[in-house]
């Protein structure tokens, strides 16, 4: 039996074909389901095989990639499979390095050198020698290891770009880092379709652990004429014809990348925190192909959080979602796989003036779900901004016992009043916090004074006077719900 999978921004499905003598059986459907089965018979075994081969060519032509397990797994494949699940196992890395060195593969020596450089007890002289050996190996083999990505990492035009700390630095279109002999990290400063395709075609990215996208190119298909775009790309099955320049065609192409299962950290965010132009409709389709992910940082509009929050993510430690219009935190709280989650950061898009349903995107029912979750038991960092749970939310944090477990509590841009501040001040658990953010809430000088008296490290600036949660019937939206990105 041969197996195949297809992934793009709309679907994640499988297709298998099993030829037995004069007949074959095809099974197909969404990944994770049993699918549907169809059988067909032919006059001869040769005819059955020929028809099966024809179907396989049709499927691969449409973008399906073969996932048939090999009868024998090579030693290299065995090492890499183990490292995908145990990336911090130095013994595995060292053994793989020795294996490649025995085969006269220069990557084995490169791995050995980089592993040796991790030893902090090295003398300055030894470190200098190893750094020189590392540079020599990169000079000889880096282009080969990067493959099609070299056009954007080594040969790409260097321009000044924001680094994320407000400063600018000259950088290539794609920055990269090697660790333990393999491509560990890629940072795309304005990802294009061609860059996404280069990553998909780079076989040496199969152990990629960190994928950072700081911007997305506005692109149109070749043959079109469109203003205000960055570049054009050749049409292909990885970018559907109906995708427009503002629909992030590069993310559609990225959804076909075979290396996503190795990714541990995925960042999709522009350098400026509250300047978001990223369409996040494809995010769910990318993350569902990252079963090992332990960090997600998403600053994007149109993210389908209803689907994202229920994905199985047993390794996830940190989840950041900014600028979304949907925060179904009750679904997140009910996700049985999120027992390792320690950090949850949510800052919604500024409330739209034409919002049909009044009130904030994050409400008391969402906070209660987080506080009472049977699975989020390791949560220590909680950010719920632009919320309308106010003083009732403060009481829930205390009564549920969550406050006692937290190290960081960020409730910026809310309607907490002096009453909520007094509740916090009276709780002995507030002193356990390493940081408390109540910026842009409804505290008077008395409320600020009560919090300061606890000695907790707190941000208590830019207060307002809207201490009553918005009434959906009044048609008015409090100003604090416009804190953040308003485009």
pLDDT in tens, 316-327: 999 999 999 999
The pLDDT value recorded for residue 338 is 98
- Strand (E) positions, 248-329? 265-268, 295-299, 318-322
Q: Of the residues 31, 66, 101, which one is the last residue of a structural domain?
A: 66
The pLDDT value recorded for residue 357 is 53
pLDDT in tens, 345-385: 999 998 875 554 557 899 999 999 999 999 999 999 999 99
Q: Of the residues 10, 44, 66, which one is the last residue of a structural domain?
A: 66
When mean pLDDT is compared across 152-161, 265-274, 439-448, the lowest value belongs to: 152-161
- Cβ neighbours of residue 390 under 8 Å, at least 6 residues apart? 414, 415, 416, 417, 420, 442, 467, 468, 469
**Residue 3 tokens, joined:** 């197996």
The pLDDT value recorded for residue 381 is 98
- Cβ neighbours of residue 385 under 8 Å, at least 6 residues apart? 346, 347, 348, 362, 410, 411, 412, 413, 414, 483, 484
> Looking at the predicted structure, is the pLDDT value of residue 163 above 80?
no
On whether residue 237 sits in a domain, the answer given is no
d(CA 148, CA 78): 25
The pLDDT value recorded for residue 167 is 65
d(CA 361, CA 347): 9
On whether residue 246 sits in a domain, the answer given is no
pLDDT in tens, 386-395: 999 999 999 9
In this prediction, residue 226 has a pLDDT band, given cuts at 50, 70 and 90, of confident
**Residue 162 tokens, joined:** 């924001």
Residue 287: which CATH number?
A: 3.80.10.10
d(CA 267, CA 187): 9
Which residue intervals of 255-389 are DSSP H helices? 283-287, 305-308, 329-333, 364-371
On whether residue 326 sits in a domain, the answer given is yes
> Looking at the predicted structure, is the pLDDT value of residue 198 above 70?
yes
On whether residue 83 sits in a domain, the answer given is no
The pLDDT value recorded for residue 335 is 98
User: For the chain, how many structural domains are there in total?
Assistant: 2
On whether residue 38 sits in a domain, the answer given is yes
In this prediction, residue 304 has a pLDDT band, given cuts at 50, 70 and 90, of very high
Q: Of the residues 66, 83, 99, which one is the last residue of a structural domain?
A: 66
d(CA 360, CA 325): 10
pLDDT above 70 as % of the chain? 94
On whether residue 133 sits in a domain, the answer given is no
> Looking at the predicted structure, is the pLDDT value of residue 413 above 90?
yes
What is the chain's mean pLDDT, rounded? 91
**Residue 357 tokens, joined:** 């349903």
In this prediction, residue 195 has a pLDDT band, given cuts at 50, 70 and 90, of very high
- Cβ neighbours of residue 91 under 8 Å, at least 6 residues apart? none
d(CA 29, CA 431): 53
Query: Token match 């779900």: residue?
Result: 369
pTM: 0.86
* Full domain range(s) for residue 54: 2-66
On whether residue 396 sits in a domain, the answer given is yes
Which of 47, 44, 43, 36 has the alpha carbon at shortest distance from 14? 36
Residue 44: which CATH number?
A: 2.20.140.10
On whether residue 150 sits in a domain, the answer given is no
The pLDDT value recorded for residue 187 is 96
């Amino acid at each position: 039996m041969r197996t195949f999978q297809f992934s793009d921004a709309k679907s994640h499905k499988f297709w298998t074909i099993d030829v037995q003598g004069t007949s074959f059986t095809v099974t197909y459907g969404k990944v994770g389901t049993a699918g549907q089965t169809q059988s067909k018979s032919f006059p001869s075994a040769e005819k059955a095989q020929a028809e099966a081969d024809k179907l396989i060519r049709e499927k691969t032509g449409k973008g399906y990639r073969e996932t048939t397990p090999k009868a024998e797994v090579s030693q290299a494949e065995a090492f890499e499979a183990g490292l995908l699940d145990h990336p911090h196992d130095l013994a595995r890395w060292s053994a793989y390095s020795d294996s490649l060195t025995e085969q006269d593969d220069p990557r084995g020596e490169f791995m050995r050198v980089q592993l040796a450089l991790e030893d902090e007890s090295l003398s300055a002289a030894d470190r200098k020698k190893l750094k020189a050996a590392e540079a020599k190996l990169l000079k000889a083999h880096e282009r080969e290891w990067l493959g099609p990505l070299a056009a954007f990492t080594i040969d790409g035009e260097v321009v000044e770009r924001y680094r994320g700390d407000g400063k600018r630095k000259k950088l290539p279109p794609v920055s990269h880092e090697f660790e333990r002999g393999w491509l560990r990290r890629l940072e795309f400063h304005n990802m294009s379709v061609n860059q996404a395709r280069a990553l998909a075609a780079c076989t040496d990215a199969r152990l990629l652990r960190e994928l950072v996208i700081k911007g997305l190119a506005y692109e149109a298909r070749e043959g079109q004429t469109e203003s205000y775009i960055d570049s054009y790309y050749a049409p292909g099955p990885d970018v559907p014809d109906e995708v427009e320049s503002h629909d992030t065609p590069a993310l559609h192409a990225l959804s076909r990348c075979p290396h996503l299962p190795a990714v541990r950290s995925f960042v999709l965010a522009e350098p400026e925190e509250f300047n978001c132009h990223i369409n996040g409709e494809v995010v769910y389709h990318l993350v569902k192909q990252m079963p090992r992910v332990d960090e997600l940082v998403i600053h994007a509009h149109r993210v389908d959080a209803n689907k994202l929050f229920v994905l199985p993510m047993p390794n996830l430690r940190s989840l950041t979602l900014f600028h979304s219009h949907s925060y179904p935190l009750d679904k997140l709280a009910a996700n049985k796989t999120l027992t390792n989650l320690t950090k949850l950061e949510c800052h919604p898009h500024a409330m739209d003036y034409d919002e049909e349903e009044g009130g904030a995107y994050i409400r008391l029912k969402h906070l209660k779900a987080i506080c009472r979750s049977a699975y989020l038991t390791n949560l220590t960092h909680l950010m719920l901004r632009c919320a309308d749970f106010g003083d009732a939310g403060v009481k829930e944090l205390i009564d549920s016992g969550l406050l006692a477990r937290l190290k960081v509590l960020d409730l910026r841009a809310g309607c907490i009043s002096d009453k909520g501040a007094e509740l916090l001040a009276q709780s002995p658990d507030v002193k356990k916090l390493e940081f408390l953010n109540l910026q842009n809430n409804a505290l008077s000088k008395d409320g600020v004074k009560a919090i300061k008296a606890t000695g907790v490290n707190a941000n208590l600036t830019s207060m307002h006077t809207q201490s009553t949660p918005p009434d959906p019937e009044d048609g008015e939206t409090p100003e604090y719900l416009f804190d953040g990105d308003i485009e």
